[in-house]
């Protein structure tokens, strides 16, 4: 999907998907259903959000259960033996066990601010940096929220609502979840949305290293995916990002994200990773999602553990920047943004 859905929400011509989920009624006894039936109900209702032409008409009576409640219940069940991402820890996060993302059930916002330096159609944007991540990119610029997952304030409905209302008054166009990785914080985000009475679009700034179940839960919540396609092959993903089976997972989820809602794909060009990462990433996008907005990021800065990696311990050279631009141009992508 192009940016049309997201832009229509920003202009007030459509309601955000999470808002519609919040007001789409489900039977009050839904939480007694077995998980398989709950998924069936979830999938049918989520699909109906997309098939309704305008979708501006809330159907929920005050006090009744909604599709958002159903998503919360499914996420809770997943947290009991966590499979939200391909690391499949199977830890009981509701019972105080910690997954490889460093998280139990709670979420912490380690930075919160109004930013103007992102893609032009999302700024000014209210970014909430959520602690915890399922990847360990050596160059991570948000590493303080990866190693200290209780930094900042605990995400609760009331704190979230007051933070969003304040930033909206200051001009924020959207609510922008970033990390770390927002998907590994899904339960706290969904619960917090219940307390919010402001229909702003949700931007989900993600590594898309997520399972099918997580992608289904995000469907009907996210209005714009800003997705990093970081590595062009599994060897680099393992060596630099610390995860296995990366490429197929992310490609699959990019295709899904493009069917669910609006999508922007980012690629941060890493020094020494032009042929192995940038080239295959751009080729795949050009072949599979040629109309999607592609953001080529040439502003790599070594951080965290990058200093220990010979290739990653420097900025991009001018010749690498020129080569990166030439590769993107040669593949014929329709919508390209470049930041240096
Ligand atoms: S979200 Fe966290 S706990 Fe769940 S599978 Fe991924 S790394 Fe493990």
- pLDDT by residue (tens digit) across 125-151? 999 999 999 999 999 999 988 888 999
Overall size of the chain counted in residues: 340
In 3-state terms, what secondary structure has residue 263? strand
Q: Which of 100, 103, 214 to mutate to test the pocket of ligand 1 (most atoms within 8 A of CB)?
A: 100
**CA-CA distances (angstroms) from residue 52 to 15, 194, 258, 289, 303?**
12, 22, 18, 25, 46
Q: Is 324 in the pocket of ligand 1 (CB under 6 A)?
A: no
Q: What is the DSSP letter of 249?
A: H
Q: Is 89 in the pocket of ligand 1 (CB under 6 A)?
A: yes
Residue 143 lies in a domain: yes
Element holding 153 (H helix, E strand) = strand 153-154
Here the CATH number for the domain that contains residue 293 is 3.20.20.70
Q: Which of 77, 82, 132, 206 to mutate to test the pocket of ligand 1 (most atoms within 8 A of CB)?
A: 82
pTM summary value: 0.96
Residue 245 burial (CB count, 10 A): 12
Residue 208: name the closest of 190, 226, 223 by CA. Answer: 226
Q: How far is the CA of 237 from the centre of ligand 1 (A)?
A: 17
Answer whether residue 53 shows pLDDT above 70: no
DSSP letters of 26-51? --TTGGGS-HHHHHHHHHHHHHHHHH
Q: How far is the CA of 135 from the centre of ligand 1 (A)?
A: 10
Q: What is the overall mean pLDDT for the chain? A: 95
Residue 298 lies in a domain: yes
Q: How far is the CA of 272 from the centre of ligand 1 (A)?
A: 30
Q: Is 10 in the pocket of ligand 1 (CB under 6 A)?
A: no
The rounded distance, in Å, linking the Cα atoms of 212 and 245 is 14
- pLDDT by residue (tens digit) across 195-234? 999 999 999 999 999 999 999 999 999 999 999 999 999 9
Q: How many domains does the chain have?
A: 1
Tokens read off for 284: 């795949």
Sheet with 108-115, strands from edge to edge, namely: 153-154, 108-115, 125-130, 175-178, 202-206, 224-228, 262-268, 293-297, 335-339
Confidence tier at 56 by pLDDT (50, 70, 90): very low
- pLDDT by residue (tens digit) across 257-267? 999 999 999 99
pLDDT score at 64: 84
Q: Is 180 in the pocket of ligand 1 (CB under 6 A)?
A: no
Element holding 326 (H helix, E strand) = helix 318-330
Residue 221 lies in a domain: yes
Residue 335: name the closest of 229, 263, 245 by CA. Answer: 263
Q: Is 99 in the pocket of ligand 1 (CB under 6 A)?
A: yes
pLDDT score at 2: 86
Q: Is 82 in the pocket of ligand 1 (CB under 6 A)?
A: yes
Mean pLDDT is lowest, of 32-46, 138-152, 276-290, for: 138-152
Residue 194 lies in a domain: yes
Answer whether residue 62 shows pLDDT above 90: no
146: containing domain: 4-14+103-339
Residue 50: name the closest of 267, 304, 261 by CA. Answer: 261
Residue 334 lies in a domain: yes
Residue 186 lies in a domain: yes
- pLDDT by residue (tens digit) across 323-339? 999 999 999 998 999 99
Q: How far is the CA of 138 from the centre of ligand 1 (A)?
A: 19
Residue 53 lies in a domain: no
CA 144, distance to chain mean position in Å, is: 19
Answer whether residue 54 shows pLDDT above 80: no
Residue 20 lies in a domain: no
293-297 and 335-339 beta bridge pairing = parallel
């Amino acid at each position: 999907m192009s940016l049309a859905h997201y832009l229509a929400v920003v202009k007030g011509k459509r309601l955000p998907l999470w808002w519609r989920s919040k007001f789409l009624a489900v039977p009050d006894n839904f939480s007694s259903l077995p998980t398989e039936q709950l998924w069936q109900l979830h999938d049918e209702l989520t699909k109906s959000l997309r098939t309704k032409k305008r979708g501006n008409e809330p159907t929920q009576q005050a006090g009744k259960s909604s599709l958002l409640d159903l998503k919360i219940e499914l996420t809770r069940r997943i947290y009991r033996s966590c499979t939200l991402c391909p690391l499949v820890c199977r830890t009981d996060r509701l019972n105080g066990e910690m997954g490889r993302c460093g998280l139990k059930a709670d979420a912490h916002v380690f930075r919160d601010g109004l930013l103007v330096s992102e893609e032009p159609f999302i700024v000014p944007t209210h970014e909430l940096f959520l602690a915890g991540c399922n990847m360990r990119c050596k160059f991570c610029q948000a590493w303080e929220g990866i190693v200290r997952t209780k930094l900042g304030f605990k995400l609760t409905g009331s704190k979230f609502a007051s933070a969003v209302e304040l930033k909206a008054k200051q001009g924020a166009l959207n609510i922008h979840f970033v990390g770390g990785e927002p998907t590994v914080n899904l339960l706290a985000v969904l619960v917090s949305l219940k307390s919010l009475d402001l229909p702003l679009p949700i931007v989900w700034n993600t590594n898309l290293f997520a399972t099918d179940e997580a992608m289904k839960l995000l469907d009907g919540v996210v209005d714009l995916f800003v997705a990093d396609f970081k590595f062009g092959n599994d060897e680099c993903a393992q060596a630099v990002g610390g995860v296995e089976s990366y490429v197929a997972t992310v490609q699959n989820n990019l295709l899904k994200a493009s069917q669910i809602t609006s999508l922007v794909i980012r690629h941060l060009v890493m020094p020494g990773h032009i042929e192995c990462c940038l080239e295959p990433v751009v080729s795949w996008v050009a072949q599979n999602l040629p109309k999607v907005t592609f953001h080529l990021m040439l502003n790599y800065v070594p951080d965290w553990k990058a200093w220990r990696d010979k290739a990653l311990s420097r900025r991009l050279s001018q010749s690498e920047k020129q080569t990166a631009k030439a590769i993107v141009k040669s593949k014929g992508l329709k919508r390209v943004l470049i930041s240096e």
